Structure 1
Amino acid sequence: MSEDQPGSDPTSHGDALAVVIAKPRAQTVIEQLRAEGVYDADRSVQAWDEAGVAVPVTEPPQSVTYREVVRQVGEPRLRTLADHLRERSWTDAECEQAPSSWAVIGSVVLVDIGDSPRPAEVGEALLQLHGEADTVLARHGIAGDHREPDVEVIAGTGDTETVHVEHGTRYALDLAEVMFSPGNKAERARMGEAVERDEHVLDMFAGVGYFTLPMARAGANVTAVERNPTAFRFLVENTMLNDVSERVEPYRADCRDVVSNLATEQRADRVVMGYYEASAPRAEDSRAPPDASHEYLDSALAALAPGGVVHMHEATPEALVFDRPVDRLESAAADAGRSVEVLDTRRVKGYSEGVAHVVVDARVE
């Protein structure tokens, strides 16, 4: 489907074809082409003109609009980061120190640079590998009460604001200001499948709308709470970007304050606790901060209607998966005079060495 005019294209299916599209659409189009089965991952996305890029395809697609179909010139894609680094005269030993994983978030490549030599060259190589991106960020961790990322621009334009697309959900965000975990992709999509239409969901730690948006797009009514002012701004923007503002009630607040009102007005059918430490018990040390996270699990249960479902995320040492999060949930429920039925347990991803990010789904009577 051409953006300019309809009609058949003279290129044959045996040629190395590409569709020319506006660069800001690149990630959305690649996702659509993958779904249709015509994206050619053996060749790279290339700049075409000032405003457009050429996205390689195996045949003209039916599911997307594009300016034109062209014969893509140039060499076949260098398949790995090491291929690109060797072209920069890196030795095999240096390539072994290069990053082994990264993620393309909208127009930004997010990478754990580690002890890699010459980070700027790694960044430039990643831009060559991913022609749809224009900035490479090295991430150095998450810090502070608001879970703010510590990142560094190592290549490209330095523009850290972008729109990331997953399974049709659009996330506007600034990767220098708010966190985004690529490894949670499947869990974000799953939450959109888990909800029932018109049910009431409380998302206690909404961020930019990681779980809120797919749930609202599926028809749930979501109370979304986020206290980070930057993340909250993007949360509100994203509800409009995804046409779900009528289904999302956003609060910039501590979720415990919101829960104290919800518990007396309307309990939730489902509560999402996406913060890893939200199940931690009160520290015995009297020096524990006043916002110690033991109260989050208590608050989640107070907001949950009888028979409702809680999705509790936790960073758990491997030796304690899944026993610790289940024990914590059952203990909190017993203190509240309620019972727990565990519905499912899942590993989402590795959190750190020897620690797993897990989720427990449970019905609370």
Structure 2
Amino acid sequence: MSEDGARRESSETDDQQLAAVVAKPRSQVAIESLRAEGVYDDTRSITEWTADSVAVPVTAPPQETQFREVVRQVGERRLRTLDDHLRERGWSDEEIAAAPSSWAVLGSVVLVDIGDSPRPAEVGEALLALHGEAETVLARHGISGEHREPSVEVIAGDGDTETVHTEHGTRYAMDLAEVMFSPGNKAERARMGDIVVADERVLDMFAGIGYFTLPMARAGAQVTAVERNPTAFRFLVENVMLNDVDERVHPYRADCRDVVPGFAEDGRADRVVMGYYEASAPRADDSRAPPDASHEYLDSALDALAPGGVLHMHEATPDALVFDRPIERLEAAATEAGRDVEILDTQRVKEYSEGVAHVVVDARVQ
């Protein structure tokens, strides 16, 4: 329905080009809602309407999505692909072949692995033309450091790296120049919201900005969310309030190994989520462990988990060792703790890097 109670509609023929005008900050939410209504027209471009609004193309006036007004959008049909936009800019077929093949729109920011593409600034401008709701394009160069901090570069747009991304109804506020967000984990985030039971007790050992915490809490779980990166923790707290789950999320800025003893004394968790890739690495005294390998997290997870509880263990695993290595590590840790493991499911989440997969193992621990 119209935000201001007044809808401006044209009475012209059905071949008119309609657009719903929405505020820029909520454009992604509106697009998701319009898609759900079945009226979003993805054959036309989203265009700026005023300084603080965009015109989102629709096939009919929305009935469920909030908007300011419905207008007749005059303009050319959308150039459907990045290749189209680059070709219009005079790029050769060889240059286009080196252009990025994938990217993600996160709120008002386009996040792209630029690779060896020529003229990154032109790629950025083309992506802004392709995604009218976006205002900044960031080239992603990798993740490093103890706090898993991203290395990014603004290649087009106004340079604002703070945004709010909406995914399956969950809202994530973040600064993509300071905290990581993996678009490839979208299905796994949604799965965690589907898999929990209302009021069950969950420990999210590496909560970040709330990647898994938020969908689980929105589904009714009581989540203890632990994050030691101060910037990520700030966004975690903000996102808890943004999603109205403050009564179901208990955030701690700490090392999860320091939280587990008190948590276990207060009654163990029905479910533990280990979303950090290196959390199952061998102990530091194991010669096979890389110099910076995290250790003892798996032991802490088992200490926190109630008998019959479920553990979700994420790992970056060489393709040749999927799923054998993470299962072997889990079973070895459980045996040492005097516990039995039943593997419930395995998931290949995404490609982590060349020859390495991001996987997750779901296990019941007795």
TM-score, structure 2 as length reference: 0.97
Shift of residue 116, structure 1, vs aligned partner: 0.6
1:227 counterpart residue number: 228
Aligned residue identity for 1:350:
E
- Count of matched residue pairs: 364
What RMSD in Å do the two structures reach over aligned CA positions?
Answer: 1.5
What is the identity, as a one-letter code, of the residue corresponding to 2:272? V
**Structure 2 residue 9 is matched with structure 1 residue 9:** yes
**Counterpart position of 2:123:** 122
3-state SS of 2:277 partner: coil
Question: Secondary structure at the residue paired with 2:186?
Answer: helix
Aligned counterpart, 1:330: 331
CA shift for structure 1 position 42: 1.1
> How far did 1:294 drift?
2.6
Match in the other structure for 1:343: 344
Q: 1:178 and 1:357 mapped to 2: Cα distance?
A: 19
Q: 2:314 aligned with 1:313, yes or no?
A: yes
Distance apart, 1:288 and its partner CA: 6.6
1:85 matches 2:72: no
Distance 1:191 1:362 in 2: 14
- Counterpart residue type for residue 4 of structure 2: D
Q: Give unmatched runs, 5+ long, in structure 2.
A: none
* Separation of aligned partners in 2, 1:26 and 1:287: 46
Q: Is the 8 A contact 2:200 2:270 kept in 1?
A: yes
Report the Cα distance in structure 2 between the residues aligned to 1:111 and 1:126, rounded to whole angstroms. 9
Distance 1:292 1:88 in 2: 46
Match of 2:150 in 1: 149
Contact residue 217 and residue 223 of structure 2 kept, 8 A: yes
2:41 alignment partner AA: D
Which has the higher mean CA deviation after the structures are superposed, 204-213 or 274-283? Answer: 274-283
In the alignment, which residue of structure 1 is the partner of 2:172? 171
AA aligned opposite 2:131 = H
State the Cα deviation string for residues 294-318 of structure 1 (Å, max 9, x = none): 3111110110000000011111111
- Shift of the 90–25 alpha-carbon distance from structure 1 to 2, 3 Å rule, reads same
Tell me, in whole angstroms, the C-alpha distance in 2 between the residues paired with 1:40 and 1:331: 53
Deviation at 1:14, TM superposition (A): 2.6
Q: Which residue of 1 aligns with 2:160?
A: 159
- Corresponding position of 1:181: 182
Q: Secondary structure at the match of 2:360?
A: strand
* AA of the residue aligned to 2:32: E
Q: Could you say what secondary structure the match of 1:222 adopts?
A: strand
Alignment partners' CA distance in 2, 1:23 and 1:359:
36
Q: Give the conservation status (yes or no) of the 8 Å contact 2:44–2:77.
A: yes
TM-score, normalised with respect to structure 1: 0.97
Task: Look up the equivalent residue of 1:5 and give its one-letter code.
Answer: G
Is the contact between residue 111 and residue 137 of structure 2 (CA under 8 Å) also seen in structure 1? yes
Give the conservation status (yes or no) of the 8 Å contact 2:6–2:69: no
Letter in 2 for 1:111: V
Instruction: Tell me the alpha carbon deviations over residues 92-148 of structure 1, each in whole angstroms, 9 at most, x when there is no partner.
Output: 100111111100011000000011111111101100000100000001000000000
Residue 6 of structure 1: how far off its partner (Å): 4.4
Alignment of 1:38-117 (within 5 A): 38-117=39-118
How far apart are the structure 2 equivalents of 1:45 and 1:90?
24
CA distance in 2, matches of 1:31, 1:54: 14
Q: Which runs of 5+ in 1 are unaligned?
A: none
Task: Find the aligned partners of 1:5 and 1:105 in 2 and give their Cα distance.
Answer: 30
Shift, 1:263, TM fit: 1.8
Q: Secondary structure of the residue that 1:245 maps to in structure 2? A: coil
Identical aligned pairs, as a percentage? 77
SS of residue in 2 equivalent to 1:209: coil
- Report the counterpart of residue 243 of structure 2 in structure 1: 242
C-alpha distance in 1 between matches for 2:287 and 2:313: 25
Matching residue's letter, 1:2: S
For 2:55, the aligned partner's letter is: A
Q: Deviations over 1:238-285 (max 9, x none)?
A: 111111111111111111111122122221000000001111112424
One-letter amino acid of the counterpart of residue 10, structure 1: S
